[in-house]
Amino acid sequence: MTNQKFSNQSNNYTLGVILIVVGAIILIKKLGFILPFWLFSWPMIFIAVGLVILINSQFKNGFGYFMLIFGSFFMLKKYVDLPAGFEGYVIAFGLIGAGLYFLINQKKTPDKLFGTGSQGFSGFNATAQDAEVVDEEGNSKEQASNNFGFEPEIISSQAFLSGDQKRILSKNFKGGKISAILGGAEIDLSQADMTEPAMLNIEVALGGVKLVVPPHWQVQVNVSNVLAGVEDKRLYQNVSPDPKKILKIYGSVILGGLEIKSF
């Protein structure tokens, strides 16, 4: 039931980069050049994943930098004689950097959170936490404080080394951003509704996202997959899609999973 007409260049861009790198390595070996042994070490996997994430997000993804630094650190530790106690400084600066990233990211407006490809949200100036909530009659009310069963028009879910559950009840849903890094997020949109097409940015790395949507919504998925799975379990729903209810999903899923289903 998933509609794949949503146009986004992220898939082709990431795939193109991967094909070029793999082809270049094969060509260099065929030409008889000796490749450095560290190029095939396990820290290089983290560096490669970090580079893919950064390229796909136009170098605006904090987890991409984390993977790049993480892999680089173990690469240096494995092949370079580092001074004693160097690990402590790396851990300290890494924790400080991660904390600053989350603090800065928390205060960004939705259009900045989405970055490239989210022009449809440029008119919103409130953060996802402070977004105005509109009920079925169009009356404004304060957003509920609990995680499960609240009504923002624009959602922001971040699961880092943890789990996050949200049930969205808004009848004027516009989209948002879901990030699952070494964690999992479950977003229930089964009771939500929309008045115009919505865009949802999903970033998954070593984690998973479960998305429950109404059966009559059209879901257009265009995400970059790297050693990951994107599964739509609505394929055999016997419900006619509403042409006015379109959820456009874009982003990346790396070493993780995205599951879309309906009840």
Distance CA 64, CA 255 (A): 13
Q: List all residues 6 or more positions away from 128 whose beta carbon is below 8 Å from its beta carbon.
A: 110, 113, 152, 154, 155, 156, 176, 177
Q: List all residues 6 or more positions away from 93 whose beta carbon is below 8 Å from its beta carbon.
A: none
Q: What is the pLDDT of residue 257?
A: 92
Q: What is the pLDDT of residue 237?
A: 62
Candidate from 15-29, 37-51, 133-147, 215-229 with smallest mean pLDDT = 133-147
Parallel/antiparallel/unpaired status of strands 218-226 and 246-254: parallel
Q: How far is CA 178 from CA 69, 163, 234, in A?
A: 23, 12, 20
The residue ranking higher by pLDDT, 129 or 188, is: 188
User: Is 60 exceeded by the pLDDT of residue 109?
Assistant: no
Q: What is the pLDDT of residue 127?
A: 36
User: Is 70 exceeded by the pLDDT of residue 116?
Assistant: no
Q: List all residues 6 or more positions away from 99 whose beta carbon is below 8 Å from its beta carbon.
A: none
Q: What is the pLDDT of residue 38?
A: 82
Q: Check: CB of residue 135 under 8 Å from CB of residue 92.
A: no
Q: For the chain, give percent helix, strand, coil, nearest 5.
A: 35, 30, 40
Q: What is the pLDDT of residue 5?
A: 46
Q: What is the pLDDT of residue 212?
A: 94
Q: Is 175 exposed, middle or buried (0-12, 13-18, 19+ CB in 10 A)?
A: buried
Give 236's DSSP letter.
Answer: T
User: Is 90 exceeded by the pLDDT of residue 100?
Assistant: no
Task: Return the structure tokens found at 125.
Answer: 């100036």
User: Is 70 exceeded by the pLDDT of residue 87?
Assistant: yes
User: Is 80 exceeded by the pLDDT of residue 14?
Assistant: no
Q: What is the pLDDT of residue 15?
A: 64
* DSSP H or E segment with residue 248: strand 246-254
User: Is 80 exceeded by the pLDDT of residue 185?
Assistant: yes
Q: What is the pLDDT of residue 131?
A: 38
The mean pLDDT value for 97-103 works out to 75
Q: Which string of DSSP letters, residue by residue, matches 111-175?
A: HHHH-TT-GGGTT--S-STT--EE-TTS-EEPPPSSSEEE--SEEEEEEESSEEEEEE--SS--E
Does the reported pTM lie above 0.75?
no
Distance CA 213, CA 30 (A): 49
**Average of per-residue pLDDT values in the chain:** 75
User: Is 70 exceeded by the pLDDT of residue 231?
Assistant: yes
